[in-house]
Amino acid sequence: MNRSVWLMLALGVTLAGMNDTHARDKTTAQPATAAATDDPFLWLEDIHGTRPLAWVEKENAKTAARFADGARFEKTRDSILEVLDSDARIPDVNRRGDYLYNFWRDKAHPRGVWRRTTLAEYRKANPDWEVLLDVDALNRAENKRWVFKGTQCLKPDFNRCLISLSPDGGDAVAVREFDIPSKSFVKGGFDLPVAKTEAGWIDDDTLYVGTDFGPGTMTESSYPRIVKEWKRGTPLSAATIVYEGKASDLAVGAYHDRTPGFERDFVSVAKDFFHSELYQRIDGKLVRVDVPTDASADAHREWLLVQTRSPWTVGGTTYPSGALLAANFDAFMAGKPQFTVLFKPDAHTSLASYDWTQHHLILDILDDVKSRLEVLTPQAGDWKRENLPGAPAMSTISVVSTDPDHSDEYWLDVTGFLAPTALQRGVLGSEPATTIKQDPAFFDASAFTVSQHFVTSKDGTRVPYFEIAPKNIKLDGSNRTLLYGYGGFEVSLQPHYSGSIGRAWLERGGVYVIANIRGGGEYGPQWHQAALKANRPRAYEDFAAVAEDLIKRGVTSPKHLGAEGGSNGGLLMGNMLTVYPQLFGAIACEVPLLDMKRYSHLSAGASWMAEYGDPDTADWDFIKTFSPYQNVKKAVDYPPVLFYTATSDDRVGPVQARKMAARMQAQGHPNVWFYENLEGGHGAGADNRQSAHMHAMAYDFLWDQLK
C-alpha cells in the first residue's frame, strides 16, 4: 500500500461537526521508561482496567451533568442529529461496473445500510435502492455492535466483496467474504478475525493478506509486518509469505492491479509516514521501483506517476519538491527514465490529488488553499492541458469517483463554507459536468460572509486563514469566535460546508475560523516539513498568530476566543493551553496526543516518530518543548478545557486525554472537564447519534465558557 493509504488508516483527521487482538490496546503497549516512572497517572494507561474505567465513569457523569443535560443541550444535539440523519443529504456514490454503491446512515438505520442503484435510478429524486447489507439487522442477528468500515470488491463483475466490520468503531476489523447476488456472507469463504488487517483480491480464489498472524507479526506501530498470499479452501496458517518487513517498519502491504492488459502485482513497505519502498512482484520475485523513498509512485496502465517530496535528480534533470512526473512504466523499470512534468508547484500552489479516467488525468490543484481542476491528456512530449471549469470562489472541488477501466466518467464534490455541497457528474470529451444531487441548506447562509486573510507568523512566514462571520459583524472584540486547526502530516484544511457548524455555532451569532498553519499540506511538502520534529513549534506559532490577528482586528478578544482541534490537532490544542493560555477563553481538545514522552509506546504512536521525533533518544530535548503533559504547571492560570476521547480509539488511544485531565485536576486547576465515549474509535462516535452528542457537548461547552 502506498503512503496515502496508511495516512488514512493511521490519521483519521476529524473535523468536528462534519461530514484491537494484538493490535488493540488492553493495557500499556510497552513498559514505562525510566523517565516516566515518576508519572503518578500511569495507572490510567490500563485502558480497560476496573480502576481507570471507574474514574472515567465518574468524570463522564460530572461533565454530562454540566454540559450534556437540559433543554439547551438537547436542542443543540437534536439540531446536529437532524443534519446527520437527514434524508435530503446527498447519498455519496462510488461506481463499480454498472452500479453506484453507497453506505447510508439515518434515524431508521443508525449503524447503516450498504446499498446500490443504477445511474438512471440515481438521477431520480427518490432512487430505488437495492439493499445489500443492513448492519443493524446483522447486529440483531449476531447480538453484536458492528460498525461498517468499508468493502473491497473483485473486478470486473464486483460480485464478490471483502467487508470490514469493527466491533467498536476502532481500526481493528473482522473481514468477511460477501456474495452480492445472494446478499449473504459466503459460507466457508474468506474470514479473518478482528485485527488491524489489510486484505485485497488477487483473483477469485486468492487474496493478499496482512494481518495479525500471531506474536511478532505486527509492527511496533501496530500494523501488519508480514503480507501473505492466501488460497481459498486452505487455513490462514497455510498462506505463503510474500514479504516480511521489520518490526520498526510502519506497515507492509501488497496489491494486485487488475487493469485489463496491464495486470501487475506490487508490494509496498512503509518505513514511516513519509518514506516507503515499492516493489513490483514478478514470478514471485520483487523488483524495486527505484524512486526516492520519500516520493510516492503509482502505476496506471502504461504510465508511472511519481510525486516528489524533496528535489530529485534523475536522467540529468532535477525536479522540485511537490512535483508530479510521468514516465512510461516499462521503460522506467528497464532503466530508461524519461519524465514529463505534469505539475510543478509555485509559491501559491500545491497538488492536492490526481485521478485517472480511461484516457485522461484530472489534477486537483490548490491555489492559496482554493481548488481548481486541470485535465491532462497523455501525448508525446508535454501532455495536453485544459482547465476544468466549475469551481466557485472560496470553494473545494474534488474528484470523488471515476471509472478508469471503462470510461471517462467523473464525479465531482463541490462545496464551500456557505454553499451546500453539490454532486456533479460529467464525461470528459462528451458531457460537461452537471449537478446530479444537491445537499439542502441546513442554515440561512445569507446572513454570513466568507473572507480569507493572511497574517505574518513569528518567523516572518505568511499564513492564511478563512473566516466565516455575520455580515453585520461589529469589530468590537465581543464576538464568540471558534478557531479550528490541525497542522500536521501534510493534511490540508479546505473550504467545506457543514450544516452542523452552521446550526450549532454560526446561527447562534458566532464566528468560525480555520487556520491553515504549517505542518499541513496547503502549500505542498515544504509547508509540512517546515513544522517537522524540532520545528514543530512553528505550527503553534502560526496558530497563535492567527489568534492574535483576530484579536487585533477586533473580531474577538481572548475571553471570547475558543480553540478546537482533534488528534494531531489535539496536540495543537494542548500547546495552545500550556504555551498560549492568555489568548483563549476556552479550548476543546479532542482524541488528543498530549504525553509526548510516552506517545511512541501507546496505541499506534510509534508510527508518528517521523513527524515528531523519538522521545527515547536525544530528540526528547526538543520534543519536551511541545509536550503539554510535561509542561502543564500548577502556578499558571489556564482557560477552561474539555478533553474528549473514546475508549475504543486504537490510534491515539484514550489514555493521554485521561492523564492530562487527571494531572490538571490534581494541580488544582478549575474548569477541567473530561468525557470518554465507549465506542467510535478515533472518530469518537459509532453512529450519528453518538457523533451528535459529542459535538453538541463541545459546542455548548465552548459557547458557555466564551460568554
Q: Is position 669 annotated as part of the catalytic site?
A: no
Distance CA 101, CA 527 (A): 36
The answer to whether residues 685 and 12 touch, using CB atoms and an 8 Å cutoff, is no
CA–CA separation, 612 vs 615, rounded Å? 9
40: helix, strand or coil:
coil
Alpha helices in 366-515 (DSSP H): 499-501
Count H helices, E strands: the chain? 15, 39
Q: Nearest-CA neighbor of 605 among 225, 268, 219, 309?
A: 219
Of 567, 603, 627, 648, catalytic = 567
Instruction: Give the C-alpha distances (Å, rounded to integers) separating 600 from 11, 222, 294, 524, 591.
Output: 15, 11, 22, 26, 16
Q: Is 451 a catalytic residue?
A: no
- Grid coordinates given for 649: 480509539
Radius of gyration of the chain (CA): 25
CA dihedral 97→99→105→106, nearest 10 degrees, is: 170
- Distance, in Å, from the CA atom of 487 to the CA atom of 566, rounded to the nearest integer, reads 11
**Residues pairing with 164 in the sheet:** 175
SS3 string of 665-703? Answer: HHCCCCCEEEEEECCCHHHCCCCHHHHHHHHHHHHHHHH
Could you say which of 109, 360, 682, 693 is catalytic? 682
For residue 553, how many other CB atoms are within 10 A of its CB? 13
- In angstroms, the Cα distances linking 567 to 185, 646, 665 are 35, 12, 22
Alpha-carbon torsion angle 206, 212, 216, 221, nearest 10: 110
Closest by Cα among 411, 326, 369, 384 to 101? 411
Chain centroid, CA 283 distance in Å = 36
192 within 8 A of 164, measured Cβ to Cβ = no
Catalytically active residues are: 567, 682
